[in-house]
Amino acid sequence: MKDPRSMRWWGVITLFVIVAISYVDRINISVLITDRDFLSHIGLSADDRTQQGLLATAFMVGYGVSSFVLTPFCAALFGVRRSLIAGLTLWGVVTFLSPTMSSYGMLLASRILLGISEGPLFSLAGSYIKAHFENRENGKPNSLVNMGTGLGLALGYPFVGYLVAMHDWQTSFHVLGLINIALGIPLVLAFIRMPKVETGMPQPKSMGDAVGQVGQIVRGALHTRYLVLITVLTAAFLSYLWGSSNWLPAYLKESRGFSMREMGWLASLPQYAAVVAVFLGGVLIDRIERRRVPLIFVFGSLGVALGVWMAIQTQDRYAAAYCLIAANFFWGLMSPAIPSTVQYCARPEHVASAYGVVNGTGSLVAGFMPAIMGAVIGAASSRSVSAGFFAGFATLIGTQVVVLVCGLMLWWRERNVQDD
């Protein structure tokens, strides 16, 4: 008989792989906007930064709404396993068919649909971890799942760049769509198993019962401690991710003068740093006192802000890349602390929905960061391309100020609770 304690880690590894796949899908567009054939196909010019940024924002709008709205229904009606299979199927099909979208508006709609299909992913992962791991041991599984973010970005930039350089931009959509279905679904079928956890709610027998349960789950989730504060912090935290990841390829290629191939591997290096840091962050969470976990946000945000500031100030293009590697390392340290905090503050039956509120609202707000950065880059580029990207990346520092303040507030409140 298989040891359930070892099998639970295979489920975590499966979630790690699925998260990595999803992030390759998400940043595909950020590489393609540097390809003139792709821009010509959808009717955009290379100088239309705002419209380019909106392609990423469209995904995040669908993702944020879905994470908030669909997650409770997934938790009540379908469960983790079936919800993951349905999501993988939908986003694989949408990705594969994206090259058939012959206009900017149609591609924008497909990005929204892709976001909707991926929306519940992190909430479902949080539910799985909460069901299989105690609070005192959830740092490592959370860090492993979140390492998929960095690995997906690290592999995605050079992989998509290679497909575009050696084939064409359409191939990138086709290959990624097939990977979702051919790799993701078999892994879920093989390794995702949920224990029977008593939640105090009967299994819904009809849509009416399910809607009633959803109402109970959402009401419970809204009573999660520090929910608003964690949500604001998450919005600022994800704003850095979506702003930097969507504009990093263009920054390296157009502002710093790297070729398409150089851009691919250089853009991947900060993401590998994030992968290592996410793992270290998970180990750190399991080793320090619970009330000290918010300090990870404080010191991490300071490191990110300093790294970005040094990157945009230096004249040496390789030094700028190294500074962004350091910034992403500090960002990665903070990553597992968010789901760990939600799991600590929410009841077991409300974890998925609480994380849906946090991740959904945070993603919805953060989703506008690529468009905001695009508008800033476009406006400031009237002087020079470098000035435009300097201004655009400077906005990322503001996101870390918000993370710093929220981290300090969480630490202060948690310290007072522990003292009481």
Residue 32: closest CA among 165, 149, 151, 181: 165
172 has pLDDT over 50: yes
- In this prediction, residue 198 carries a pLDDT of 43
The predicted structure's pLDDT at residue 110:
92
| Portion of the chain with pLDDT greater than 70, in percent | 87
The pLDDT, as a whole number, for residue 224 is: 75
Q: What is the reported pLDDT for 298?
A: 93
Q: For residue 405, give the H/E element and its range.
A: helix 385-419
In this prediction, residue 237 has a pLDDT band, given cuts at 50, 70 and 90, of very high
Report long-range pairs for 215-221 (Cβ below 8 Å, ≥24 apart): 217/72, 217/75, 217/76, 217/349, 217/350, 217/352, 217/353, 218/72, 218/353, 218/357, 220/347, 220/349, 220/350, 220/353, 220/354, 221/72, 221/346, 221/350, 221/353, 221/354, 221/356, 221/357
User: What does the pLDDT read at residue 209?
Assistant: 59
List pLDDT tens digits, range 332-348.
Answer: 999 888 888 887 777 76
> pLDDT: is 211 or 32 the higher one?
32
d(CA 304, CA 111): 29
Q: What is the pLDDT of residues 282-328, one digit of tens each?
A: 888 878 887 888 899 999 999 999 999 999 898 888 999 899 999 99
pLDDT value at residue 419: 53
Q: Is 116 exposed, middle or buried (0-12, 13-18, 19+ CB in 10 A)?
A: buried
Question: Is residue 272 pLDDT above 70, yes or no?
Answer: yes
d(CA 239, CA 245): 10
261, pLDDT greater than 80: no
Give the pLDDT confidence score for residue 75 in this predicted structure: 60
- Phi/psi at 120 (5° precision): -75, -5
Cβ–Cβ < 8 Å for 267, 300: no
Q: Cα 82 to chain center, whole Å? A: 21
Residues 367 and 238: their CA atoms lie apart, in Å, by: 8
Q: Average pLDDT, stretch 21-38?
A: 87
pLDDT given at position 4: 59
Cβ(371)–Cβ(387) under 8 Å? no
Q: What domains sit in the chain, N to C, each tagged with a CATH number?
A: 4-193+209-415 (1.20.1250.20)
Q: Is 60 exceeded by the pLDDT of residue 65?
A: yes
* 21-41 average pLDDT score: 87
Average pLDDT, the chain: 83
Q: What is the model's pLDDT at position 201?
A: 45
**DSSP of 233-282, one letter per residue?**
HHHHHHHHHHHHHHHHHHIIIIIS---HHHHHHHHHHHHHHHHHHHHHHH
What are the residues whose beta carbons fall under 8 Å from the beta carbon of 291, sequence distance 6 or more? 411, 414, 415, 417, 418
**Using an 8 Å Cβ cutoff, are 41 and 102 in contact?**
yes
pLDDT at 203: 53
Q: Is the pLDDT of residue 35 over 60?
A: yes
Summarised one tens digit per residue, pLDDT across range 177-211 is: 999 999 999 999 999 887 765 444 445 555 565 56
Model confidence at 240: pLDDT above 90 = yes
Tokens 């009717």 correspond to 43
- pLDDT band at residue 1, thresholds of 50, 70 and 90? very low
pLDDT above 80 for 279: yes
pLDDT, tens digit (0-9, with 9 covering 90-100), for 114-152: 988 888 887 788 878 878 887 677 677 887 887 888 888
**pLDDT of 69-78, one tens digit each?**
776 667 666 7
What residue type is assigned to position 372 of the chain? Answer: I
Handedness of CA 238, 242, 248, 254 (dihedral sign): negative
In the chain, the N- to C-terminal Cα span, in Å, equals 46
Q: What is the CA radius of gyration of the chain?
A: 21
pLDDT in tens, 351-397: 766 777 787 788 888 888 888 888 888 888 777 878 888 888 899 99
Alpha carbons 130 and 15: distance in angstroms, whole number: 14
- Going by C-alpha positions, the residue among 145, 112, 151 that lies closest to residue 130 is 145
CA diameter of the chain: 68
CA dihedral sign of residues 178, 184, 186, 189? negative
pLDDT for residue 126: 80
pLDDT at 211: 61
Q: CB-based burial of residue 203 (10 Å sphere; 0-12 exposed, 13-18 middle, 19+ buried)?
A: exposed
Structure tokens at 341: 């905090």
Q: Out of 54-68, 194-208, 266-280, 313-327, which region has the weakest mean confidence (pLDDT)? A: 194-208
